[in-house]
Amino acid sequence: MGIKEDTWKNRIAERSDLSTCVVHLTRVENNKNVKDEKLSLAILLIKILNDRKIIASTTTSGFIVGKTPAVCFQDAPLTGIAQNILYEQKYKKQNPDSKVRYNGAGVMFPKPYAFEKGARPVVYEPTTAAKKILPESEYWRIVNLELGKTDNFIDWTHEREWRHPQDFNFDIEEAIVLLPNFKQYQLFMKECKKQKLDYPERLKGVINMGAVAY
């Protein structure tokens, strides 16, 4: 039996481990031409807003199974998102050769909005087993899970991932921008003013994740 959206929101409001939104975290690729990484993060977010689109990852650029590119989201409250970001930063420092999965900046959307556009929860399952369950057209939903080998655990369930097949086109009025600290928040606002962009007024919000994490 279904429930009304307000009832759904009220139930989630009583839980510190749930959220009504999904979050896409982005990253700055290694680029020798980018001298100011912090500024490039702000510019990258503005570019995403200008394009009204998040580019999907592939098997090569991300961790996508199958031929269909997909955009990844995390279904967690901002406190959980902040903890995931901090852990990734610590892990990178301890393992310099590891791949940068995301920086502490991104875009958040209401879960019903993402769902209506085609985003869905992933299927956590050993890849070979998942391929026997899902049709090839749904392989983009597979996230490998392996807890049977103590020396080779693969577990991303803490991200509670959702994915959207192909690029994710969105409306500015449904987006909330996440920035990793107050300095980058200031840079974002400065760039919007410099480029005469009205995003701060049109967005659902702009959040300094540093205030959430610390």
| Cβ-contact 42, 187 below 8 angstroms | yes
Q: What's the pLDDT tens digit per position in 61-72?
A: 778 999 999 999
**Is residue 130 situated within a structural domain?**
no
In angstroms, the CA 46 to CA 42 distance is 6
The number of residues in the chain equals 214
Say what the pLDDT of residue 149 is.
80
Strand partners, 169: 53
- In the chain, the number of structural domains is 1
* 95 is a domain residue: yes
Question: Does residue 179 lie in a domain region?
Answer: yes
* Sequence-ordered strand ranges (E) for the chain: 21-26, 53-54, 70-74, 105-110, 120-121, 123-124, 142-143, 161-165, 168-169, 176-179, 205-208
Question: pLDDT-derived band of residue 37, with 50, 70 and 90 as boundaries?
Answer: low
Mean pLDDT over residues 177-206, rounded?
Answer: 95
Q: Is the pLDDT of residue 101 over 90?
A: no
**The tokens of 101 are what?**
């999965």
What's the whole-number average pLDDT of the chain? 92
- Torsion sign across C-alpha atoms 176, 182, 184, 185: positive
Residue 136 resides in a domain: no
* pLDDT at site 32: 41
Query: Which domain covers residue 87, as residue numbers?
Result: 38-121+159-211
Cα 154 from chain centre = 19
- Across the range 112-140, mean pLDDT stands at 98
Any domain includes 190: yes
pLDDT band at residue 98 under the 50/70/90 scheme: confident
Q: pLDDT by residue (tens digit) across 13-36? A: 999 999 999 999 998 764 444 455
Q: Is residue 187 part of a domain?
A: yes
What is the mean predicted confidence (pLDDT) over 150-168? 95
